[in-house]
Amino acid sequence: MNQYDLIIVGAGPAGIFAALEIVKMQIPIRILLLEKGMELDQRKSLICGWGGSGAYSDGKLTLTPEIGGYLKDLLGYEEAAKLIAYVDQIYIDYGAPKEVFGEDEDSTGELAHKAALANLRYIPARIRHLGTDNCTEILRKFRTTLNPHVDIFTDRPVARILTENGKVLGVETVNGESFTCDYLVVAPGREGASWLVEEWKRLDLTMARNPVDIGVRVEVPAAVLEPLTNVSFEAKLEYFSKSFDDRVRTFCMCPYGVVVMEGSDGVTTVNGHSYANRRTENSNFAILVSTRFTDPFREPITYGRYIARLANLLSGGVIIQRLGDLEAGRRSTDDRIAHSIVRPTLKEATPGDLSFVLPYRYLTDILEMLKALDQLAPGVASRHTLLYGLEVKFYSSRPKLSAQLETEITNLFAIGDGAGITRGLMQASACGVAVAREISRRISG
């Protein structure tokens, strides 16, 4: 029987929390969850499969509506804050550590003051760190809760969203299966962003283009970042470049962590992890340049993939370069990397020259940001600092959504990173709860 009351596309945090909330409310409906990737224990992809990209992420829960998405714009600040607090408690109930970073107002205030002197804006944020190793255990517990109540099909990519007369009908999978439903929630994550954009175009939905974030991952000795990470675990810092007035920011700071590769649709990019139960001697973080494009340019995801593919073409995967080599106008070599005081944690990276990949504007912005950060954490701009490229964040074009996260098609809801409205675990999880409550309200009449 292929008729369901509710179908959820995507088993990342948004889709999982939508299902968890419906189950928690004990509403007697038939629920189907379709996931493109494999089961958690069978996954080979870092960003596709049960748990989405969050399964093997650093596992940071940012406990403020200010960071990690647009929920405060769609739902209002107060409602977004309530949802974040609610979701945070669920993570704790399923095994998240109780420690929260960034709660010492004296320390964060001092950090904000020092940042201002370096022309940086420090964005205070309370953060709960799960750790990559804890993420998978929590996801297994989520699956155990859902198993008796939800039909879960992995390795089932969805090809098309089915509609009729402005109302959702269901979905069709790549292998030709059709499933009908009264309510459809699409939450395909970053892996499904390109597919979802094509579906929005096919369905003729109104869309707003999100920026594309392009940059590098920076690796330094852990001691260099301790003035920041000891205060807030992940220091969120923003800078506007002198040369172009572009917004440049730090992202996904990983104390005592590792640099990793991740692949999506044939493109290899770079990311970072840190664990709850083991440490390295390094810390890493991304520097991203956010660019909003104007007409006639309408393909930010395509542009980001093009730049990432260029790095892949030159290196076979990820390029690594010492900052000193970049500034001297020369490529890094194995010997030059070996002379660095920073031992790279991503051994598969290929020494090369990022100036052959990054456009001048991006490269200038990144170098300016590194010099500003060096005033806050001396050693960040050392010649030994390692740069990995590229790190690209693909944020899907957002469809026009109501305050209930409903598209212009009746009973079709869009949530999570793939829908372009969130940028991380916490807000993705929170919007899953929000849409589940709205569907519950409609079903209950």
> Are the CB atoms for 218 and 257 separated by under 8 Å?
no
The pLDDT of residue 1 is 58
The pLDDT of residue 294 is 62
Question: Do residues 227 and 189 both lie within one domain?
Answer: no
Question: Do residues 29 and 88 both lie within one domain?
Answer: yes
What does the pLDDT profile of the chain (445 residues) look like in tens digits? 599 999 999 999 999 999 999 999 998 999 999 999 999 999 987 889 999 988 888 899 999 999 999 999 999 999 999 999 999 999 999 999 999 999 999 999 999 999 999 999 999 999 999 988 899 999 999 999 999 999 999 999 999 999 999 999 999 999 999 999 999 999 998 888 889 989 999 999 998 876 778 999 999 999 999 999 999 899 999 999 999 999 999 999 999 999 999 887 788 999 999 988 889 999 999 999 987 766 666 677 788 889 999 999 999 999 999 999 999 999 999 999 999 999 999 999 999 999 999 999 999 999 999 999 999 999 999 999 999 999 988 766 788 999 999 999 999 999 999 888 998 899 999 999 999 999 999 998 7
Three-state SS for 43? coil
**Residue 121 maps to a domain:** no
The pLDDT of residue 355 is 97
The residue type at 273: H
Range of the domain at 344: 212-393
Quick one: tokens of 230?
A: 């000891």
User: Could you give the C-alpha distances from 14 to 51, 214, 250, 414, 423, in angstroms and in order?
Assistant: 9, 24, 24, 10, 11
Question: Do residues 362 and 279 both lie within one domain?
Answer: yes
Continuous H helices in 160-290 = 193-202, 222-232
Angstrom distance (rounded) from CA 111 to CA 416: 31
The pLDDT of residue 295 is 64
Question: Do residues 21 and 50 both lie within one domain?
Answer: yes
Q: Domain end: 393, 408, 431, which one?
A: 393
> Are the CB atoms for 187 and 416 separated by under 8 Å?
yes
The pLDDT of residue 191 is 83
Quick one: tokens of 17?
A: 């929390």
Angstrom distance (rounded) from CA 36 to CA 155: 5
Q: Domain end: 376, 393, 410, which one?
A: 393
Residue 91: its H or E element: helix 77-93
Question: Do residues 171 and 57 both lie within one domain?
Answer: yes
- Would residue 352 be called left, alpha or beta, if left means φ above 0 and alpha means ψ between -120 and 50 degrees? beta
Question: Do residues 24 and 168 both lie within one domain?
Answer: yes
Continuous H helices in 233-359 = 300-315, 323-327, 334-338
The pLDDT of residue 418 is 87
**Residue 113 maps to a domain:** no
Continuous H helices in 130-272 = 132-146, 193-202, 222-232
The pLDDT of residue 263 is 84
- Site of tokens 């030709």: 176
Quick one: tokens of 118?
A: 């370096």
Question: Do residues 233 and 192 both lie within one domain?
Answer: no
Work out the angle at residue 122's Cα, subtended by the Cα atoms of residues 120 and 127, and round it to the nearest 5 degrees. Answer: 150
Classify residue 101 by its DSSP letter: B
Per-residue pLDDT tens digits for 348-364: 999 999 999 999 999 99
The residue type at 310: L
Question: Do residues 327 and 303 both lie within one domain?
Answer: yes
Q: Domain end: 393, 408, 426, which one?
A: 393
> What is the CATH number for 179?
3.50.50.60
Question: Do residues 96 and 188 both lie within one domain?
Answer: yes
**Residue 115 maps to a domain:** no
The residue type at 354: L
The pLDDT of residue 297 is 67
**Residue 114 maps to a domain:** no
**Residue 255 maps to a domain:** yes
**Residue 371 maps to a domain:** yes
- Domain count within the chain: 2
- 38, β-bridge pairs: none
**Residue 419 maps to a domain:** yes
Question: Do residues 226 and 196 both lie within one domain?
Answer: no
Which of 305, 316, 385, 323 is closest to 350 using CA atoms? 316
Quick one: tokens of 127?
A: 């953060």
Question: Do residues 339 and 430 both lie within one domain?
Answer: no
**Residue 117 maps to a domain:** no
Rounded to the nearest 10 degrees, the angle between the axes of helix 360-376 and helix 105-117 is 130
Question: Do residues 408 and 286 both lie within one domain?
Answer: no
The pLDDT of residue 47 is 83
Is this structure's pTM higher than 0.85?
A: yes
- 249, β-bridge pairs: 238, 288
